[in-house]
Amino acid sequence: MAERILVVDDEEDVRNIVARALKGKGYHVKGISLACDALEEIKDRYELAIVDIKLPDASGLELLAQIRRISPLTEVIIITGYATLESAITAIERGAFAYIRKPLQLGELYQTAKSAIEKQKLTAENQRLVAELRKINRRLENLNRTLEKRVEKRTGELRRSQEETEKKARQLAIINEITSAITSSLDLNEILSVVTEETKKIIRFDRASISLTDGSRMINKVYFLEPAGKKEPEEGLTYPLEGTGIEWVIKNRKPLIREDFDGGGEFVEDEYILTTEVKSGMVVPLIYRGEVIGTFNLGSKEKKAYREEHYQILKQIAGEIAIALENAELYRKLKTYSDKLEEKVAERTEALRSNIRELKEAQERLIQSEKLAATSKLIAGVAHEIKNPLNSMSFATANIEKMLNSGFDMRKTQDFCRESLSILRSDIGRLKEMVDRFMVFTRPDRIELEDADINDIIRQVVKGVEGELRQKGITIVEKYAKRIPVLKLEKAAFHRCILNLLLNSRDALERSGRIEIRSGLADNLVTVEVKDNGYGIPPEIRDKIFDIFFTTKAEGAGLGLSQVYRTVESHRGSITFQSEPGKGTTFIITLPTT
């Protein structure tokens, strides 16, 4: 029956890719997106769960702990696209078999899943054997009580059988202790100490070491475990691999048992081994993801100290050692990466602070430049507006002076002066009106807000202009949204805003044109749209229409749309427009409801 694997990931593509890859290897795979569903499904026996660290309804690390509680025999592999040192450590501490970063390498995932299932099978088998042994013991005790007289001659045999069984149970318990130490710690020194002490309980040795190779012709790292108990590897030292027993083990992928080193120099290291008083030894391959990464080496001062049964025990221990070594290397790389990342973050933070300071200085210079440009533009506009009336006034006063300095007829002079004074009064009035409008525009707003119904304001404005529009053959269409909330507005200012927009549309229309005004409500925003089918706004002036004194009308002052823009912004709103030459323009005012 195929082993069962549960894939828990909220990304359907990831579930499908993993399912196809593992099904192709003969596994039965089921994908689930939610942690709550996974907890129900895990009750139906699964050998392995592959869990994403981020799920919609729970953390993958929380789900890991619950799976281990509900189904202790189920191994769990954590996968994540947001790998951190903290989450990796937490995953290992909570019993994860492995921690894999996305994007997933399917070959790596398969090998990891295979190792996890092998471990699961071993654990399940261990539990089954322990339970079976306990059952046998109970049966033996019952038989011993009821058949004591009849089995006297076999008591010795049973005792020996029981001793052997207990020996195997002790071996299994020790292997479980080693497995537990490896899966619950990232401290390699601690793990190797447990391996050394626990292995000694079931296999006698006087010397022990771990040799690692990186695939070259050299042994590049050695951990001396006994007799010195030196767990740290010798850095910078390498040993030739060619001709050694270690090379033979790596090449043949099986153990090498040496019963007696006195038999001759079969391998190049034999001469050195004899100087250590070691008489026999065993070298076991360390296999990780199908590759031999090194060897576990034991030596004894007794001849013929090791047999095939010892290898069967060490084979299981060697697999756990290989995982521990790789996990330790991964932890070292992660820590190095984390330290470098912190340095880079600090450097980048300082660079960003410097950039922010420079940007702030540039913004201040830009604001000052824009203020000067706006002031220059304002002055130019005022000068332009004042120039014509002043020219007219200058001409009128020059004519009066000329008339007074020449021989003149009193009646004609009086008529001429009255006409000139009339011109002066008119121009002075124009200047005063223009200055008043300018002062209204430039005076800081003293907004007095009151509750207002925007629909009522629109209706009042339309009522005031519809007669004039009707005379010019312009149709006005009103559309009001229902249930618009009461707004805090300056009613008079908004009345002028909407009036200016309607008059602007009027001036953009030929006879028989059409204006549509509507209100709306969406996403806590109130909108007012004024749409006409006039000649539109030419692209080359669209960025100027809200500028003060800008106008395309022969008699316009260029203050209307500027005042609209200023009023809307003072109410925390915005005004935009859409225009197409020959088809019309739509102005859109947007106001917050709160």
Exposure string (b/e) for 451-463, b if CB count within 10 Å is 16 or more? ebbbbebbeebbe
Output the pLDDT for position 325: 79
Comparing CA positions, the residue from 75, 97, 88, 95 lying closest to residue 331 is: 88
What single letter denotes the amino acid at residue 517?
Answer: I
d(CA 34, CA 540): 56
Average pLDDT of the segment spanning 548-568: 71
Q: Say whether pLDDT at 333 is over 90.
A: no
CA angle 476, 480, 485 (to 5 degrees): 145
Lowest mean pLDDT among 26-35, 128-137, 213-222, 527-536: 213-222
pTM: 0.35
From residue 515, how far is each of 192, 402, 581, 587 by CA, in Å? 86, 54, 16, 11
Look over the chain and give the mean of its residue pLDDT values, rounded to a whole number: 81
Which residues are bridge partners to 219 per DSSP?
Answer: 239
Q: Say whether pLDDT at 464 is over 70.
A: yes
Number of Cβ within a 10 Å radius of residue 68: 17
Question: Considering the chain, what percentage of its residues have pLDDT values greater than 90?
Answer: 26
DSSP string for 416-436:
HHHHHHHHHHHHHHHHHHHHH
d(CA 308, CA 77): 33
Comparing CA positions, the residue from 226, 239, 220 lying closest to residue 200 is: 226
pLDDT band at 371 (very low <50, low <70, confident <90, very high): very low
pLDDT band at 380 (very low <50, low <70, confident <90, very high): low
Average pLDDT of the segment spanning 185-201: 79
Strands of 304-363, DSSP E? none
Q: Say whether pLDDT at 28 is over 80.
A: yes
Comparing CA positions, the residue from 423, 398, 403 lying closest to residue 413 is: 403
Higher pLDDT, 558 or 261: 261
- Continuous segment of H or E residues that includes residue 22: helix 12-23
Q: Tell me if 209 sits within 8 A of 233, measured CB to CB.
A: no
530: left (phi over 0), alpha (psi -120 to 50) or beta: beta
Number of Cβ within a 10 Å radius of residue 226: 16
Average pLDDT of the segment spanning 245-251: 87
Q: Tell me if 231 sits within 8 A of 223, measured CB to CB.
A: yes
Lowest mean pLDDT among 209-218, 320-329, 374-383: 374-383
Output the pLDDT for position 316: 81
Residue 322 tokens read as: 């290989």
Q: Say whether pLDDT at 214 is over 80.
A: no
3-state secondary structure 162-215: HHHHHHHHHHHHHHHHHHHHHHHCCCHHHHHHHHHHHHHCCCCCCEEEEEECCC
Exposure string (b/e) for 155-168, b if CB count within 10 Å is 16 or more? eeeeeeeeeebeee
Say how many Å lie between the first and final Cα of the chain, rounded.
Answer: 66
pLDDT tens digit sequence for 135-178: 988 888 888 788 777 767 776 777 777 777 777 777 777 777 77
Strand-strand pairing, 514-522 and 475-479: parallel
Q: Tell me if 419 sits within 8 A of 456, measured CB to CB.
A: no
d(CA 591, CA 594): 9
d(CA 70, CA 62): 12
| Contacts of residue 105, Cβ cutoff 8 Å, sequence gap at least 6 | none
Domains of the chain: 4-137 (3.40.50.2300), 157-334 (3.30.450.40), 367-442 (1.10.287), 450-592 (3.30.565.10)
Average pLDDT of the segment spanning 106-124: 91
pLDDT tens digit sequence for 39-89: 999 988 899 999 999 999 999 999 999 999 999 989 999 999 888 889 889
Q: How many residues does the chain have?
A: 594
Comparing CA positions, the residue from 107, 56, 48, 123 lying closest to residue 78 is: 48
Output the pLDDT for position 65: 92
Q: Where are the alpha helices (H) located in 42-154, listed in sequence order? A: 60-70, 85-93, 106-146
Exposure string (b/e) for 475-498, b if CB count within 10 Å is 16 or more? ebeeeeeeebeebebbbebbbbbb
Output the pLDDT for position 590: 94
